[in-house]
Amino acid sequence: MIIRPCLPHSPDLGNYGSQFVLARLLVAALGATIIFAGCDRRAHEETGGPRHYEVRGIIRGFAPDRRAIDVEHENIRGFMPSMTMPFPVRDQKEITGLQIGDAISFRFAVSDQDSWIDRIKKISATEVRLPAPTAAPKTESTSDSVPRLREGDPMPSFTLTDQNGERVTLEKFGGKAFVLTFIFTRCAIPNFCPRMSSNFAELQTAIKAGGEALAKTRLLSITLDPVFDTPQVLKDYGAHEQADPGVWTLATGNAPEIDALTHAFSVYRQTEGGTISHGLATALIDKGGKIDKIWRGNAWTPAEILAEIRKGE
């Protein structure tokens, strides 16, 4: 099952830790099926409300505006294994007085459109059961030789494969502006990858209805999970998102190619314990192949990108 992403109404996490905004996301055990606790899932299907999970963990950081906290949490049964990730906070009063290193319990709510935590309480550290730490797997990569990109730099060459199994290179977009972002299809938390796809769907609608430079603009979603996200998986995902291949390309590639691109755009990406932790970056490349603007995190809106595109008309 792929959850259809909708535009969330949660606090923006775009500036939380820059590119190190971690979306520690569930990697499903069976294909693209997202496994939820049986009784909680039935309740969600019957009421249409959010799924709720009782969680305990240790505070590892705060967003600068304290609208989110980074928590190393226990296994969330039926949803995701233990990891460290940022959680949006609905009521900031609930974290007043809390400090890094405090043990807390809270309720984690996840809907098809949003996720947040509430009912936050300080508890004894002895009540938190975290698994023994394990070393993250090391992977060989040549990405360290790739320079970090900035606005005004030329977009580097790349070779990827699209949802139809066809070769995708920078030359494909020659003479056309395009917007690129990074996602993966098994992303389970709506504030992150699903939000990027929802925003791209909105951009696609505007592009198809637009004129001049806007109508020539293209979209490129690059997977962070090339092992699972084969061209066929991306094709199915694109069909679910109503992606028009003439406008919106979903692309995969070999690990070194993906590593090179994520490194170039300063997107943190790490596979560990069956999960993917990553940052977010979205960029507008002008028709001459120059990087016009880079947006970090998930706080950008389609309107902002459309305004930038129209500047080039």
Give me the CATH number covering residue 241: 3.40.30.10
Q: Is 282 helix (H, G, I), strand (E, B) or coil?
A: strand
Of 101, 127, 153, which residue constitutes the final position of a domain?
A: 127
Count: domains in the chain: 2
Domain shared by 172 and 210, yes or no: yes
State phi, psi for 124 to the nearest 5 degrees: -75, 140
Name the least confident of 183-187, 188-192, 297-301.
188-192
Asked if the structure places residue 243 within a domain, the reply is yes
pTM: 0.70
Token couple for 195: 């939000």
**Buried (b) or exposed (e) across 240-251, using 16+ Cβ within 10 A?**
ebebeeebbbbb
Residue 62 or 43, more confident: 62
Domain shared by 99 and 162, yes or no: no
Q: Is the pLDDT of residue 118 over 50?
A: yes
Domain shared by 155 and 76, yes or no: no
Name the least confident of 77-81, 97-101, 116-120, 247-251.
77-81
Any idea what the Cα angle at residue 34 is, between residues 192 and 200, rounded to 5°? 35
Of 127, 158, 183, which residue constitutes the final position of a domain?
A: 127
Domain shared by 159 and 300, yes or no: yes
Of 73, 98, 127, which residue constitutes the final position of a domain?
A: 127
Average pLDDT of the segment spanning 231-241: 96
Strand partners, 223: 183
| Residue 33 · residue 78 · CB < 8 Å | no
- Whole-angstrom distance, CA of residue 53 vs CA of residue 41: 11
| Residue 302 · residue 206 · CB < 8 Å | yes
Q: Residue 78: which domain range?
A: 18-127
Q: Is the pLDDT of residue 312 over 50?
A: yes
